[in-house]
Amino acid sequence: MEQIQKLFATQSNHAFDFSVFSNRLEQKDYDKNAIILKSGQVEDYLYFVEKGMLRFYIEKGEKEITFDFAFEGNFTSGYSSFLTRKPAPYFIQALVATSIWRISYTDLQEVYKGNEQGQMIGRLAAEQLFIRKTARELSFLSQSAEERYLHLLHEQPQYIQQIPLKYLASYIGITPQALSRIRQRIN
Amino acid sequence: MEQIQKLFATQSNHAFDFSVFSNRLEQKDYDKNAIILKSGQVEDYLYFVEKGMLRFYIEKGEKEITFDFAFEGNFTSGYSSFLTRKPAPYFIQALVATSIWRISYTDLQEVYKGNEQGQMIGRLAAEQLFIRKTARELSFLSQSAEERYLHLLHEQPQYIQQIPLKYLASYIGITPQALSRIRQRIN
DNA sequence: CGCCGAGTTGAACTGAATCAAGAAACGTGG
DNA sequence: CCACGTTTCTTGATTCAGTTCAACTCGGCG
């Protein structure tokens, strides 16, 4: 909880009654491999990852495609579903035992209404998510698979080694075999 | 202008004083190839494309990488720069003679403040942009270059043929030569 | 008319996919 | 806590999509 409060304190230049928001936060723990959101469900929460990490994936025929991760200190959500109130086409899963804080859609609307500064929460989340997606788009257009892997290693060194290679490969856009060979080449 | 109003009417289930927003809209016309945002500038506007189309690109060494287009009826912006008030690392250019409506950052903040429903504009823009980026991310992970091209053709048939092949190739993530061969193969 | 950028086509090369088999790690039940 | 079975990772051989370099065509514009 202090993590979130600290984040707001650094972002906000106005006094902000944090309790309006925090009173509606709910803490949840998930076991390793637990499914947090099932494909076909409407996402009802915005999450803040306190500890652990999450994986986002879609099922495409036989195989899973991992397209996102969320680490400690990130805001995350099945965000397009959360915003549009339509079923999400993907799954969210805990990669390790994970603790999150979450706020429901309706509660977040209340925070928006009740407090001038409340919008900041939504804005912070939206900005973080959008900027990440844009950076990732450019990585596909301008970098090789090896560069994407090295960038990922550099950006999130403490978490990457805990993630199974097959998920990383999928996230980078290559097969597990290809990533295995990249690893052997750079070591 | 009616285009935008219609968009709001279909999205909003409440009465919305559209004039609070529209009074702050400014109409601008750009010649073919005009630069709308220069890399290094802070994006000060949110745009609605009334007519024509835009291209987004970064300069990487010698070459340009086109990573986005905006067509008639789209909201768009150098959005991460607009949100964060930091310089954009990319250019926005008119591909053909283009007419837009735009609202400045400060005016949009005023709309947010002055009107309960005002947030909707920001939300609509954010949703549209975020959802598109997510779909594109999945296209890089799960589709071949040829599939991405066919999808683009299918999605925006009326605009694609007006866009120079080299920009389309870049957007898809391949060389102009490779796209030229894909075209010859599918015809 | 001549030039220049855009598009096309060819040939050689390369990074990654695919298919296949073996090694290592992992968790589950006895 | 070990033993077994399953999943994950590695390594090899072959194939394939896309890159690179190069030459040529075409259309528009000065």
Q: CA-CA distance, B25 to B23, in Å (whole number)?
A: 6
What tokens appear for A160 in the block? 């990457």
Asked if strand C contacts A42 at the CB level, meaning under 7 A, the answer is no
**B contacts of A170 (beta carbons < 8 Å):** 141
What tokens appear for B186 in the block? 């599918």
Q: CA-CA distance, B55 to A109, in Å (whole number)?
A: 35
Q: What is the pLDDT, as a whole number, of residue B15?
A: 62
Å between A63 CA and D7 C1'?
15
Other Cβ atoms less than 10 A from the Cβ of A144: the count is 12
**B contacts of A142 (beta carbons < 8 Å):** 58, 60, 65
Contact across the interface for B141 and A170, Cβ inside 8 Å: yes
Å between B162 CA and D14 C1'?
41
Q: CA-CA distance, A6 to A22, in Å (whole number)?
A: 12
Spell out the residues 6+ positions from residue A102 whose beta carbon is closer than 8 angstroms to its own: A25, A26, A27, A28, A45, A46, A47, A48
Q: Which residue of A has its CA nearest to B134?
A: A133
Q: What is the pLDDT, as a whole number, of residue A80?
A: 87
Contact across the interface for B84 and A126, Cβ inside 8 Å: no
What are A57-77's pLDDT values in tens digits? 999 887 899 999 999 998 899
Nearest by Cα to A176 from A156, A152, A149: A149
- Cα–Cα distance list, B153 to A41, A109, B109 (Å): 30, 38, 37
pTM listed for this prediction: 0.89
Q: What is the pLDDT, as a whole number, of residue A22?
A: 84
What tokens appear for A163 in the block? 């993630």
Q: What are phi and psi of A89, to 5 degrees?
A: -90, 15
Å between B75 CA and D20 C1'?
38
Other Cβ atoms less than 10 A from the Cβ of B186: the count is 10
Contact across the interface for A60 and B142, Cβ inside 8 Å: yes
**A contacts of B85 (beta carbons < 8 Å):** none
Whether B111 and B24 have beta carbons less than 8 Å apart is answered as yes
Q: What is the pLDDT, as a whole number, of residue B12?
A: 64
Asked if strand C contacts A182 at the CB level, meaning under 7 A, the answer is yes
Band (A26; pLDDT cuts 50, 70, 90) = very high
Whether B76 and B36 have beta carbons less than 8 Å apart is answered as no
Nearest by Cα to A1 from A16, A21, A22, A17: A22
Half-sphere exposure for A16 (CA within 13 Å, toward CB): 22
Q: What is the pLDDT, as a whole number, of residue A112?
A: 79
Residues contacting nucleic strand D by the 7 Å CB criterion are A 164-166, 176-177, 179-181, 183-184; B 144-146, 173-175, 177-178, 181-182
The minimum CA-CA distance between A51 and chain B, rounded to whole Å, is 25
Only one residue has tokens 């209404």, namely A113
- Cα–Cα distance list, B106 to A58, A125, A167, B27, B44 (Å): 39, 21, 42, 17, 8
Nearest by Cα to B94 from B66, B55, B64: B55
To probe the interface with B, which of A115, A116, A129, A142 has the most B CB atoms within 10 Å? A142
- The predicted model gives A121-147 an average pLDDT of 88
- The predicted model gives B31-54 an average pLDDT of 95
The minimum CA-CA distance between A134 and chain B, rounded to whole Å, is 7
Band (A16; pLDDT cuts 50, 70, 90) = low
**B contacts of A133 (beta carbons < 8 Å):** 130, 133-134, 137
Nearest by Cα to A90 from A100, A98, A80: A80
Spell out the residues 6+ positions from residue B41 whose beta carbon is closer than 8 angstroms to its own: B81, B87, B88
Contact across the interface for A126 and B130, Cβ inside 8 Å: yes
Contact across the interface for A173 and B79, Cβ inside 8 Å: no
DSSP-H helix ranges across chain B: 2-11, 18-22, 79-84, 105-114, 119-142, 145-155, 157-160, 165-172, 176-186
Contact across the interface for A127 and B84, Cβ inside 8 Å: yes
Å between A180 CA and C25 C1'?
16
What are B129-181's pLDDT values in tens digits? 888 899 999 999 999 999 999 999 999 998 998 999 999 999 999 999 999 99
